[in-house]
Amino acid sequence: MKLRKLTALVATTALCAPMAFAADMADEMTIVSWGGAYSNSQIKAYNEPYAEKTGVKIINDESSAEAVAKLRAMDEAGNVTWDVVDVVAADAMRLCDEGLAMEIDPDEHLAPAPDGTSAEEDFGDLLVSDCFIPQIVYSTTFGYRTDLVGDTAPTSVCDVFDLEAYPGKRALEKRPINNMEWALLCDGVAKEEVYDVLETEEGQERALAKLDTIKDNVIWWSAGADTPQLLADGEVVMGSTYNGRLFSVIEEQDQPVAMLWDAQVFDLDGWIIPAGLSDERKARALDYIYFATDTQRLADQAKYISYGPARASSAPLVGQHAELGIDMAPHMPTDPENATNTFLYNYSFWADYRDDIDAKFQAWLAK
């Protein structure tokens, strides 16, 4: 380990010497994200300005979907090649638990808001893990085909379970998270009691029984791009997916699809820095994070994709879409019009119950 650090140090210093870099920062970094429109928004809003400002060479990797497994494997092999990784909050918590991500002190490592509010206050409750730097709020919600739902458009998430009023197939994610909550909600459980019910064996049975009523009419998706495609093909009448995907189907591809914001589930996506980076790579990663999560940068990202910035101070700065020129604020999941009935992904509940309920859910699916 020592030897490797030393070699890395010698190598980086040798590389840095002729160039005018800050002496103690790496001149190359690998940023891992999800790919597609999301990565594009980050490249435009963060990476390109950052590279211009510092001259650093940024390598974009699109492995976020397997980030936890890959980071674990890299850590075991003793060779972590990523510098900054974009993951959902639940994965950040697991990486933190596994000791694979470094802990962040918001006030030390992140920029304060322009009016001087500390970063910790600006991000507020969204700092759900010691290792996690929130970036955007996205939601998992339903979209429906306006031409296939008849005269009365669905208004409630429970319309998903109503086969009589809205016959046809639905697309749901092939995992218990979110589906179990929606099922209980539509089975008459009050919103604030959903997780108390879901903790119990009977509650889980009850949720699966509710899902059973539409099981034959469900196409289960595992990639975020599936539902938009199924909606565009007319394969499904309605389906759940990430709100940014639906935005691009509706506004960018002009398909006859509309949003059903009811009971949307908020989730967070953000950065982690892998544990065990060499000093100069860590310095570079922290410098990037400081830059990329400041108030203006987070607001800039919303020009390219309809995800809400995680800082309270960024919200007023959200402007228009960079190409379409439409106002982005009404398309944000956090917009008051859209956020009348929302859930927040319950991280601690699913950290505990994920394995157990998933086993039951998969067994139920296979039946």
Partner 1 sequence: MSDTTQSGPVLAADGTPLKRSLARALRMQKVRALMLIAPLLLFVLLTFILPIADMLFRSVENRIVSDTLSETVVRLEDWDALSGETPDEAVYESLYYDLFVAAEAKEHTKLGTRLNYEQTGISSLFRGSGRKVDDIGEDHVKAIERASDGALKDEALWFEIMTGGSNAEGNTALLDAQRLKMEQLTSESFAADIGFVPGAEISELFPRMAVAYTDFALFTAVADEDVVAEEDPWETVFVAFAHSVQADGGAEALASYSGPGAAELQAAAAAIADLEPIAFKTAFLEIDEDWGDLGNWRTMQTYSPTYTSGYFLNSIDMQKGPEGAEPRPENQQIYMTLFVRTMIMSLMITGSCILLGYPVAWILANLPTRSANMLMILVLLPFWTSLLVRTSAWKVMLQQQGVINDVLVWLGLVGDDARLVMINNQFGTIVAMTHILLPFMILPMYSVMQTINPTYLRAAKSLGATNWTAFWRVYFPQSVPGIGAGSILVFILAIGYYITPEIVGGTKGVFISNRIAYHISSSLNWGLAAALGSILLAVVLLLYWAYDKIVGIDNVKLG
- Catalog residues that contact partner 1 under the rule CB under 8 A: 65-66, 68-69, 72, 94, 96-99, 169, 174, 205, 219-220, 222, 233-235, 348, 351-356, 358-360, 362-366
For residues 216 and 168, the answer to whether their CB atoms sit within 8 Å is: no
- Minimal distance, residue 95 CB to partner 1, in Å: 10
Report the DSSP pairing between strands 308-309 and 133-145.
Answer: antiparallel
Nearer to partner 1, 153 or 209 (CB): 209
Minimum CB distance to partner 1 smaller for 96 or for 268: 96
Do strands 170-173 and 218-221 pair parallel, antiparallel, or not at all (unpaired)? Answer: parallel
Cβ at position 68, least distance to partner 1 in Å: 6
Closest separation in Å from C-beta 277 to partner 1: 16
Minimal distance, residue 145 CB to partner 1, in Å: 11
Q: How far is the CB of 186 from partner 1 (least distance, A)?
A: 21
181: its two tokens: 């909550």
Distance of closest approach, residue 252 Cβ to partner 1, in angstroms: 21
Nearest approach in angstroms of CB 220 to partner 1 is 6
Residue closer to partner 1 (CB basis): 112 or 168: 168
Least distance to partner 1, CB of residue 249, Å: 16
CA distance 159 to 9: 60
Identify whether the C-beta of residue 242 lies closer than 8 Å to the C-beta of residue 264: no
**Beta carbons of 139 and 340 less than 8 angstroms apart:** no
Cβ neighbors of 82 (< 8 A, separation 6 or more) are 30, 31, 32, 61, 71, 74, 274
d(CA 345, CA 287): 30
User: Which of 2/316 has CB closer to partner 1?
Assistant: 2
**Count of alpha carbons within 13 angstroms of residue 162, beta-carbon side:** 12
Q: Which is nearer to partner 1, 138 or 347 (CB)?
A: 347
Biggest alpha carbon distance in the chain? 72
List the structure tokens of 98: 């596994």
Identity of the residue, 288 or 353, whose beta carbon is nearer to partner 1 in the bound complex:
353
> Which of 44/174 has CB closer to partner 1?
174
For partner 1, give the closer residue by CB, 44 or 360.
360
List alpha helices for the chain, DSSP H.
2-16, 36-42, 48-54, 67-77, 89-97, 106-109, 119-123, 179-186, 194-198, 201-212, 226-233, 243-247, 279-292, 295-301, 347-366
Query: What's CA 144's distance to the chain center, in Å?
Result: 22
Q: Which is nearer to partner 1, 290 or 349 (CB)?
A: 349
* Closest CA relative to residue 266, chosen from 342, 195, 335: 342
Minimum distance, C-beta of residue 335 to partner 1, in the bound complex (Å): 31
